[in-house]
């Protein structure tokens, strides 16, 4: 994946934007599911926190 990113002539801001959108969507889905199970309370704070964690992890893994 790193070679593809390094050789790409596309705009790297698009990758960051897609990462942010997909991280937020995954976080929303995970928190919603965990709320159904009674593990965490559904709320903007929990979704945002998880989205930031997912975003940071995927950013580090892809650019590592």
Q: What is the pLDDT of residue 63?
A: 72
SS3 string, the chain, reads: CHHHHHHCCCCHHHHHHHHHHHHHHHHHHHHHHHHHHCCCCCCHHHHHHHHHHHHHHHHHHHHC
Q: What is the pLDDT of residue 12?
A: 81
Q: What is the pLDDT of residue 4?
A: 63
The candidate with the shortest Cα–Cα distance to 17, out of 49, 45, 55, is 55
The candidate with the shortest Cα–Cα distance to 46, out of 26, 25, 27, 33, is 27
- List the pLDDT tens digit at each of the 64 positions of the chain: 666 666 666 788 888 899 999 999 999 999 999 999 999 999 999 999 999 999 999 989 887 6
Q: Considering the entire predicted model, what is its pTM?
A: 0.79
Contact assessment for residue 40 and residue 34, using Cβ atoms and an 8 Å cutoff: yes
Q: What is the pLDDT of residue 49?
A: 97
């Amino acid at each position: 994946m790193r070679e593809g990113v390094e050789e790409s002539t596309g705009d790297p801001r698009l990758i960051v934007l897609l990462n942010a959108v997909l991280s937020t969507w995954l976080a929303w889905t995970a928190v919603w599911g965990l709320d159904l199970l009674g593990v965490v309370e559904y709320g903007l704070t929990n979704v945002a926190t998880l989205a930031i964690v997912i975003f940071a992890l995927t950013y580090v893994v892809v650019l590592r």
